[in-house]
Amino acid sequence: MDSLRKIAVPVGAIVVFLLFWEALVQINNWPNYVMASPSDLPAAYAQFWELFLVGSWQTLWRTVAGLALAVLFGLLLGMIMGFSRIARDALYPLLVGFNAIPKATLVPVLALLFIGQHDFNTVMMAFLISFFPIAVSVGIGLSTLEPEYRDILRSLGASRFTIFRKIALPKTLPEFFGALKVSVTLAFIGTNLVEIVSPHGRGLGALFLSGQTNSNYPLMFAVLIALAILGIALYYGVVALERIFAGWAERQAT
């Protein structure tokens, strides 16, 4: 009963949303170049299913690759900032400044730096846009570790690395996954940004662009829905990882 409700409620909400959208378009009598309706979409998927599969895969792997880079780099940066006050003071303004730059402005910069390396540029953008939350949250998690936690192992003569591995790292995992949930969405946006903005792009973003160029409005909306589904899948992928590695942080409802 409980598991049925867990599935039925969100599915029901999606159905209601689609009905509302359909009704909105029908009642206002909008032509599909103003707004396509859900009933236009199956035809678009049926016609271009191969492009959707290829595009989704390209978008997916480049997002995941960028995010993986962001995790490695973010963890490293977070560790440096968490353990060294000087590094924190030095890096923080740089990071904040970098994060404040609208990433769309970096697309031409990257494109000129690495001409023609479309895959590489896309992965780089996904990485650049998403490492900041990881670095900051890991840094804060490590620097706010209560001294008693450290003292328990330090008084036994444990090395800094042992303390990091046994205590600091697992203790920071909930913050890390909190940041990863933000980062996965950001990386996804980064990937799509490059796909849409750069000429001769690949992935779902390029498919969206070709829909626009050919005035195929149902295709554009179909891409948007596909992007939403892919985004949801990525997000819940992170949630599943969180359950496995930081499930202990979730308190049982009492």
Partner 1 sequence: MDNLIEIRGVRHAYKTKSGPLPVLDGLDITVPEGEFCAVVGPSGCGKSTLTRLVAGLMKPDAGEVWLHGQKVTSPRKTVGMAFQNPVLLEWRTILDNVILPLEIVAPSMPRRDRVARAEALLEMVGLAGFEAKRPSELSGGMRQRASLCRAIVHKPDVLIMDEPFGALDNFTREDLWQTMHDLRAKEPFTAVLITHDLRESVFLGDQVVVLSGRPARTQFILNVDLTQDRDIDVLYTQKAADMLHTLRDQIKIAQGRDPEAA
Q: Which is nearer to partner 1, 2 or 148 (CB)?
A: 148
Q: Is 161 in the site for partner 1 (CB under 8 A)?
A: no
Contact indicator for 132, 145 with CB cutoff of 8 Å: no
Q: By CB under 8 A, is residue 178 in contact with partner 1?
A: no
Find the binder of partner 1 among 51, 54, 111, 167 (CB under 8 A): 167
Among 87, 140, 158, 182, binds partner 1 (CB under 8 A): 158
* 62, 81, 93, 134, 208 from 90: Cα distances, Å: 31, 9, 7, 18, 41
- 18 versus 140: smaller Cβ distance to partner 1: 140
Query: Minimum distance from CB of 148 to partner 1 (Å)?
Result: 5
Reported as half-sphere exposure (CB side, CA atoms, 13 A), residue 228 has a value of: 7
Per CB under 8 A, the list member of 153, 182, 189, 224 interacting with partner 1 is: 153
Asked if 146 is part of the footprint of partner 1 (rule: CB under 8 A), the reply reads: yes
Told to check if 23 binds partner 1 by CB under 8 A, we report no
Determine the angle formed by the axes of helices 217-246 and 41-83, rounding to 10 degrees: 40
**Site track 83-122 with partner 1 (rule: CB under 8 A), x = hit:** ----------------------------------------
**DSSP-derived secondary structure letter, 202:** -
Are the C-beta atoms of residues 66 and 191 closer than 8 Å to each other? yes
Closest CA to 37 of 27, 52, 51, 50: 27
> Rule CB under 8 A: is residue 144 a binding residue for partner 1?
no
For residue 76, CA distances in Å to 23, 41, 73, 138 come to 51, 44, 5, 9
Enumerate residues 182-221 that contact partner 1 by CB under 8 A.
none
Q: Which of 151, 228, 233, 237 binds partner 1 (CB under 8 A)?
A: 151
Residues 168 and 145 sit within 8 Å (Cβ to Cβ): yes
CA–CA separation, 190 vs 125, rounded Å? 5
Binding part of the chain for partner 1, among 127-135, 143-151, 213-221, 225-233 by CB under 8 A, reads 143-151
For partner 1, the binding residues (CB under 8 A) are 146, 148-149, 151-158, 162, 166-167, 170-171, 173, 246, 248-249, 251-252
